[in-house]
A and B are shown apart, each in its own frame.
Chain A
Amino acid sequence: MTWVTKLRGAGKSPPRVGLKEIGWSWLGAFLGIAAVALIHFKLLAGTDLLLLIGSFGASAVLIYGAVKSPLAQPRNLLGGHVLSALIGVASYQLLHPWPWLACAVAVATAIACMHLTKTLHPPGGATALIAVIGGDQIHALGYLYALIPAASGALVMLIVALLVNNLAKTQRYPEFWW
């Protein structure tokens, strides 16, 4: 297969999901993000802590919108965020004089480690990146960043996924736990 034939692609895109599933995805994502955001804005306001980071928007796509995906399972959701958070914080602390390098090392290493541990979760890449570019509040957390917001936020979203995804007759979650 030459480079050019590879570029052309083969086959067509998968079918669109049913309207019911789209409805359930909307509901799950709404409740999941609402839970995390309420804690973030109501409970943690005025503290140094935070719960809402951008990567949870991406996690919501997976755990409420692609429920069956291996990337959306609890092992991947929790493992991916925690591991990537640790790697992101380490990258920032070791390499912050060279921000561009800290960013690149954080994301690339996060992907490699998620693969190695079978916890690949695409939003983990964002969690690692945010540890570097998230600003002073994030940097001040140090390795606590892996626990709050990464692990706790993911856990809240997981609980909502377990409740909502299993309400639909045609859906079940998770496919596997660990």
Chain B
Amino acid sequence: MNRDAEHSCQVVVTDEDIYQAMKEIPGYLDITVGDFREVYQVAFRNALERLREVIPVARVMTRDVVTVSVAAAAAEVAQRMAEQGVSGVPVLDAEGKVAGVISEKDFLVLMGAGRHRSFMEVVARCLGTRGCVAAPMKAKTAAELMSTPALTVDPETSTARVAELFHAHRINRAPVVDASGRLVGIVTRSDLLRAAGPSEVAP
């Protein structure tokens, strides 16, 4: 990680950039280009580490969440996910609390995906049988499809902690709920990548 940060800032700021900046800033700067570069690199690395550690999930999450209710039919859930272009949705109970999460993987499992829960397993199965493999779930509701209980995080959780949870539980998204259990957003792997990416922190 440190080496990446150093590498990326060497790309971002050259000695010539520093020299030009020193020329633009009026007055004598009591520092050499090399010293400035070193200060910059270490400061940049510190900033990266600080940001990685302490960005609360509330800053990177998606606030406009696509949700479904527990009573929604499988077809309705699928349609909603397709329309909104999302790969997972929180399922809300009658009180508006998060009861579970449905992701593409939950559909894949019902469609016969095996151990790896991969799309290719479904394709392989589909090509080996006749008829639509999605048919068996027609009668199911969101409550039956969802993974429950959902792993939720609160808005103050650090992105670093969320990344750990995603890795440990092999999940790609988590609903963000406030102290009263109300859904305030959703955090996905891509939100975390965006937060950690150099484009967000580079000047």
Taking beta carbons and an 8 Å cutoff, which residues of A are in contact with B?
10-15, 17-18, 20-21, 65-72, 170-171
Contacts and interface: CB of A to CB of B under 8 A. Distances in A.
A171 B32 contact: no
A68 B19 CA distance: 17
Contact of B30 (A11, A68, A170): A68
A17 B15 contact: no
Contacts of A67: 27-28
Interface of B: 15, 19, 22-23, 26-34
A158 to B, nearest CB: 18
Interface of A: prevailing SS: loop
Contacts of A10: 34
Contacts of A12: 19, 33
A72 B27 CA distance: 13
A71 B30 contact: yes
Nearest to B20: A15
A122 to B, nearest CB: 11
Contacts of A171: 26-27
B30 A70 contact: yes
A65 B27 CA distance: 8
A18 B25 CA distance: 10
Contact of B28 (A11, A20, A66, A70): A66
Contacts of B23: 15
